[in-house]
A and B are shown apart, each in its own frame.
Chain A
């Protein structure tokens, strides 16, 4: 069975600081990994995804994530936080054996002025 763990339900950073949101997954088969962002009262928007190939994936709004198989991690980073980045972030996993997405519990990013 697949699962996703997001460490830290809340992360607070200052504007301009590095953003690091952690995601670890469990999967017995090669995973497909996704990061989605959700703004209040809205649906989810895809930030980036990893399927195969290059392990460093660049997404929208300056975000990127690196797939590390040895660490079963897919952490999301952004060099410099912006106030507009404040939102809920979800990591998700699927695989060749299932197109269903398994979501982590989410991390709320707060950006301080």
Chain B
């Protein structure tokens, strides 16, 4: 299957700072990338969908000004958690696909964020 990477794999930051997480598709062109959040022992919650070159579509209840998503190329999407607070601590996972219905989403290894 296709390979998706995330960087960093874990990050610790102080409350009030911003954190950027990168998601890269290494061996295919990802028209669509998805950002998920996962709390301990829970399922994945879709935060937003981003298509290359256009604005991200956020799920209901997700603050677009807090979770900034940029999908500047077919291989890179970034999620910036702005003015992070302890409640933003979580496991963030991205996935990438060709954007066609029924196509497999390939997941990155995740980024664990801890906000102190």
| B47: min CB distance to chain A, Å | 11
Selected contact of A90 from candidates B43, B106, B112, CB within 8 Å? B43
Are B107 and A44 in touch, CB under 8 angstroms?
A: yes
Query: Interface residues of A, CB < 8 Å — how many?
Result: 24
| Segment with Cβ contacts to A, from B71-79, B81-89, B93-101 | B93-101
B interface, how many residues as a size bin?
Answer: 20 to 34
| Segment with Cβ contacts to B, from A16-24, A61-69, A74-82, A98-106 | A98-106
How far, in whole Å, are A72 and B104 apart by their CA atoms in the complex? 21
| A61: min CB distance to chain B, Å | 13
- Point out the residues of chain B lying under 8 angstroms from A36, CB to CB: 107
Complex: chain A residue closest to B46, CB-CB: A100
- Point out the residues of chain A lying under 8 angstroms from B100, CB to CB: 99
State whether the Cβ of B105 lies closer than 8 Å to any Cβ in chain A: yes
Residue of A43, A46, A49, A99 ringed by the most chain B CB atoms within 10 A: A43
Are B102 and A96 in touch, CB under 8 angstroms?
A: yes
